[in-house]
Amino acid sequence: MIQYIKYLRLPALLIGAWLLTGSNAFAQWPDGPGKDVTLQLCGNCHDADVIQGHRQGRDEWVATIQTMISSGAEGTEDQFKAVLDYVSKNFAPVAATINVNQASAAELGSGLGLSEKEAAAIVKYRTDKGSFKTLEDLKKVPDLDFKKMEAQKDRLVF
């Protein structure tokens, strides 16, 4: 687990650089142990929707943190363990099925391979018009490539 994280003396500002750049504020930083240190080390560069877009298992988060450390991230072993525990719990892989009536835009995007614009359009449409009942209801969503949804139909829950 944390023994994989060996190099801990590098600039904290770079901790989030490997997690990609950009944000759209779809997601929130969930409350819980490790949130403060994760915000301290990662939040300078990235907000929650970027990290949520990279939902990974614990081993993948270890590799991500190792890469950030080798790129210059700085922190103590305890801090990196807290970050690892936090992201592993709060930004784990999306379940095999996606409930289009409950998923956030970030979850729809990462889980179904949709653009940010398409995912936001689904959330806006369901907020304005109500829950989807069938796959065919998704045809009514402006700015959505329905073929993408049709290709994922076995993973959708209404």
The predicted pLDDT at position 27 comes to 61
Q: Tell me: do 7 and 65 sit in the same domain.
A: yes
Range of the domain at 76: 2-90
State the Rg of the chain over Cα.
Answer: 17
- Please answer whether residues 84 and 2 qualify as being in contact, where contact means their C-beta atoms are separated by less than 8 angstroms: yes
Q: Tell me: do 103 and 138 sit in the same domain.
A: yes
Mean pLDDT of the chain: 81
Cite the DSSP H helix spans in the chain: 35-42, 48-52, 58-70, 77-90, 105-112, 116-129, 146-151
- Please answer whether residues 41 and 75 qualify as being in contact, where contact means their C-beta atoms are separated by less than 8 angstroms: yes
Q: Tell me: do 111 and 38 sit in the same domain.
A: no
Greater pLDDT, 13 or 37? 37
The fraction of the chain above a pLDDT of 70, given in percent, is 81
The predicted pLDDT at position 56 comes to 86
Name residues whose C-beta falls within 8 Å of residue 16's C-beta, 6 or more positions apart in sequence: 41, 42, 43, 44, 45, 46, 50, 68
For residue 152, pLDDT over 50 is answered with yes
Amino acid residing at 17: A
Phi, psi of 95 (to 5 degrees): -60, 165
For residue 17, pLDDT over 90 is answered with no
Q: Tell me: do 84 and 102 sit in the same domain.
A: no
Mean pLDDT of the region 131-155:
93
Greater pLDDT, 13 or 1? 1
pLDDT in tens, 38-85: 989 987 777 777 777 778 889 989 999 999 889 888 899 999 999 999
Per-residue pLDDT band for 22 (boundaries 50, 70, 90) equals very low
Per-residue pLDDT band for 116 (boundaries 50, 70, 90) equals very high
The β-bridge partners of 99 are 157
Q: Tell me: do 81 and 104 sit in the same domain.
A: no
Number of domains into which the chain is organized: 2
Name residues whose C-beta falls within 8 Å of residue 151's C-beta, 6 or more positions apart in sequence: none
